[in-house]
Amino acid sequence: MLTMIDPNKSRRASLAVFALLYLGYGISYIDRSAIALSLVAIGNELHLGAAALGFVMSTFYISYAAMQIPGGWIADRWGSKKVIVVSVAFWSLFTLMTGLAWSLASLIAIRFIFGLGEGGFPGAAVKGVTESCAREDRPKMSALLMSSNYVGSFIAPLAIAPLILCLGWRHAFFVAGGVGLVFALFYLFAVKDTPQKRDSAGRSTTIDGAATLALLKMPLMWKILLTWFGMGIVNKGLDAWMPAYLLTERHLDLKAVSMLTPLPFVAASVSTALGGWILTRWFDGREKWLMAACCALSGVFLYEMYTAQTVTGVIAYQSIVYFFKSFVFAGVFALPTKFLPQRLIGTGAGMVNFGGQVAGFVAPAAIGLLVSSTGNYNAVFGFLIVATALASITSLSIRLSPEAEADLGAAEEA
């Protein structure tokens, strides 16, 4: 008989919930990465060009971005578990259905609905982690949760590429979707709902309209969002197009790509896991300086990646880019958990991730158009470097102050 995990009862139970959420986030990135690894095969079978494939990649991010804030808000309002279970089941079903696509229109429709399903997960996952940890641990644990994105991206080529080679791209999606459905069912029965908390007067401390409006009006949150939008261009652009770049520009085969593509994600997972701890340990109150420097260094090493003469050089410099950009990734998710009250964590996380997912729509489509119009990737790297400059400038405008939460509280009461 399965014993339910109650995150409120013990540290061990809280770590078990964290481990499940970490695994769930990893599965989401494996499912998401499958389309990038299948891009060339899908294009060949369905006779689609680079611009069409770029739009297929971007379609997911339209709906995924649209669900970030609503998904986080629902988790704040009714608890994280319901959103997590429904979200995982929904995206897993449409991962499976991607393997049934027969045309460009069907691919676009399936990927759009896929994004709606997965869009509620990030805010709910961050909410789920912070529901069971002390306030001072929230930045570290939230950043550590984000490292699962890169662990999933690391595992994806190792898991999905052999499936594509052995079974074909369609069956690879069937397997990936089936794994997600099993996970959703397990989480449903293994984890208890977190009870709704009340203040000393017996009033609910869940999010309401006034709190939501106050959060959406915070300039600080928009600066964090815009910083991640700029670095999200780099993040989503490279995630989506690096396999195709290595296959077409560097003339590797899929087996070689599946072995090389995961390497930068190792660097990214390490820096993301360390990011929250480093920010709170050595850059408390000075987070913007670390984030701005990492944005700028990402741009420098993007240029080195572009001018590298060997595939080894490309992968080495990409790994360094991922290392620095992932400090920013950790920072933008750790910062809101530092100053937002618990009842706004899900919505705040969704708001930040909204910026990254808008970038997820812009970057793959823009890169596809640039490749189609120029026939190469020269302009692509210029586009990515400009995005790092935008993020660096925006991050320098971020200023945390002790008054931030007080201002938010006053706005809620107005």
- Rounded distance, CA 254 to CA 54, Å? 19
- pLDDT per residue as tens digits for the range 3-47: 566 655 577 777 888 899 999 988 888 887 788 788 888 888 888
Residue 398 gets which letter from DSSP? Answer: -
SS3 state at 89: helix
Closest CA to 261 of 38, 45, 98: 38
Closest CA to 115 of 37, 173, 32: 32
- Rounded distance, CA 305 to CA 303, Å? 5
Query: How much is the pLDDT for 411?
Result: 44
Query: How much is the pLDDT for 67?
Result: 92
3-state secondary structure 237-251: HHHHHHHHHHHHCCC
Closest CA to 80 of 195, 199, 202, 190: 195
Architecture of domain 11-194+208-413: Up-down Bundle (1.20)
User: Would you list the domain boundaries of the chain?
Assistant: 11-194+208-413
Query: How much is the pLDDT for 201?
Result: 43
List of the chain residues with pLDDT < 50: 1, 199-203, 406, 410-414
Closest CA to 322 of 333, 332, 330, 310: 330
Query: How much is the pLDDT for 164?
Result: 87
Cβ neighbour number for residue 12 with a 10 Å cutoff = 8
Give the CA distances from residue 85 to residues 97, 187, 394, in Å, rounded to whole numbers and listed in that order.
19, 7, 35
Q: Do 240 and 363 contact (CB within 8 A), yes or no?
A: yes
Query: How much is the pLDDT for 6?
Result: 63
CA dihedral sign, ordered 27, 31, 32, 37: positive
- Rounded distance, CA 111 to CA 36, Å? 12
